[in-house]
Structure 1
Amino acid sequence: MSTVLELDGVTKRYGEQPPVAALRGVSFSVRQGELVAIVGPSGSGKSTLLHVIGTLERPTSGVVRIGGVDAAQLSDRELSRLRAREIGFVFQQFFLAEHATARENVADGLLYAGVPAEERLRRADEALERVGLADRATFKPTKLSGGERQRVAIARALVGKPAIVLADEPTGNLDSATGASIMALIRELNAAGATIVMITHDAELADGLPRQVRVRDGQVVSDCP
């Protein structure tokens, strides 16, 4: 399997007097088809790591490669294109447009990938079917449960067939039963070939995944398959 994500000596510092080191020489890679938890307590650097992996922030030093491409060498426009095509995001807040249907919300995941409108809707329907929401395609988020809204968000992340899906605390806003069903879906999608990196503070949840990269004080302290 090919490597879809590689971090080599990544640092991130904020401010100048004195600078605050959020990441300190982080190195690890993720291969195609893996399901990985990045786990650590609040303040460990998880969120910064998510932003750097997702190319939302540039590292202070070190290399971040997505699908073999060194993100630091790209212009802002090229970076936006890479993000649109290679990375799917799932956040605990869902970030769905309330006025749009589930189908339209998912189709919007292809807006910046240059896909024609009719094809966007067709692929949105396919993605909703994958997450078990084919019968909710015309519903707006206000008519959906929290678990269903998270499924729409996951479908939106998957619709562009990205190299990697980044899930930030995807069960954080859900009750335990609904959270368990979302985790079951994530495992299902991974078994079908999706590469998923999940950021979480929940050590118990992380322990149930095939690999855990544990971070503390901006450093990787263990990487357990």
Structure 2
Amino acid sequence: MIGVEAPAAATDGLPAVEPVLELDEVTKVYPGESPVLALDKATFTVHRGDLVAIEGPSGSGKSTLLHVMGTLDRPTSGTMRIVGEDVATMSDRDLAALRAARIGFVFQQFFLAEHSTALDNVADGMLYSGVRHRARVEAAAVALERVGLGHRMDHRPPQMSGGERQRVAIARALVGNPDIVLADEPTGNLDSISGGAIFELLLELHAEGATIVVITHNHELAVRLPRRIEVLDGHIVADVREAWPPDAPTERHLP
């Protein structure tokens, strides 16, 4: 059966971990003369505090899944909830407000304003959240400290390395304390050393409690995360949860 998920990490005697992102038979068909089934009945749940890799080759449906999870695109059928809210019932305006408050995005290309400082780039991540300018700047400074760039706040992107720019992008995603961060190929535009540093940063943020989903085609990166969801031809073909910390790995593959 497609879409059976790995069980959430839990401790006996404690309440179940809160679901942050829930997909139930989510399907996406792009219409046209020859309709394209880009996502077929995807079913899985991401719980608060999870660190998940969504892995698959080019054309597998990862980008479609990212757009649907990020509420940038609506599914053709199925149900998706963000912190219990059914996005299908929301207007475009409500979805925009949900994205601003609940979801942080990190992209391979950084998307930083080159003429703004790192501090301003991060503060602008809260531009549509209704937070006053001074509070945005204070929160941005805290976020930059969190990613190790407290000493580079007044630098502009052209004055920074690729790894530093990605740290700014991660700080921007985290600044509003979103419920979930979606990171699309966050190391894909970096050299191996910078990419390794960003990977370690994601592990640190996860250890601090951040809920992060990494979309990647990099199998070596994916297998080093606590959970891996594999996508192929629009189907969820495996949902694997490793023992964490990674000292006794176990796997559960979908038939």
Question: Counterpart of 1:52?
Answer: 68
CA distance in 1, matches of 2:206, 2:130: 26
Residue 212 of structure 1 and its aligned partner are, at CA, apart by 0.1
Runs of 4 or more consecutive aligned structure 1 residues displaced over 2 Å after TM superposition: none
Letter in 2 for 1:87: I
CA distance in 2, matches of 1:90, 1:175: 17
- Within 5 Å, give how 1:4-15 maps onto structure 2: 4-15=20-31
Letter in 2 for 1:6: E
Residue 15 of structure 1 and its aligned partner are, at CA, apart by 1.8
Question: Counterpart of 2:186?
Answer: 170
Percent of aligned positions that are identical: 64
Question: Counterpart of 1:22?
Answer: 38
Letter in 2 for 1:19: P
CA distance in 2, matches of 1:55, 1:64: 9
Letter in 1 for 2:235: Q
User: What is the TM-score of this pair, normalised by structure 1?
Assistant: 0.99
Residue 210 of structure 1 and its aligned partner are, at CA, apart by 0.4
Q: Deviations over 1:156-176 (max 9, x none)?
A: 000000000000000000001
CA distance in 1, matches of 2:90, 2:167: 32
Are 2:113 and 1:97 equivalent residues in the alignment? yes
CA distance in 2, matches of 1:108, 1:99: 13
Question: Counterpart of 1:130?
Answer: 146
CA distance in 2, matches of 1:18, 1:101: 46
Letter in 2 for 1:173: N
Letter in 2 for 1:136: R
For the pair shown, the structure with the greater C-alpha radius of gyration is: 2
Letter in 1 for 2:115: H
Query: How many residue pairs align between the two structures?
Result: 225
Among 61, 64, 77, which residue is 2:77 paired with? Answer: 61
Question: Counterpart of 1:35?
Answer: 51
Q: 3-state SS of the aligned residue for 1:113?
A: coil
Q: Deviations over 1:33-67 (max 9, x none)?
A: 00000000110000000000000000000111011
What are structure 1's unaligned runs of at least 5 residues? none
Question: Counterpart of 2:174?
Answer: 158
What are structure 2's unaligned runs of at least 5 residues? 1-16, 242-255
Residue 17 of structure 1 and its aligned partner are, at CA, apart by 2.3
CA distance in 1, matches of 2:237, 2:108: 25
CA distance in 2, matches of 1:19, 1:196: 32
Q: 3-state SS of the aligned residue for 1:155?
A: helix
Letter in 2 for 1:215: V
Q: Tell me the C-alpha RMSD between the 2 structures.
A: 0.5
Letter in 1 for 2:126: L
Among 214, 218, 230, which residue is 1:202 paired with? Answer: 218
Q: 3-state SS of the aligned residue for 1:197?
A: strand
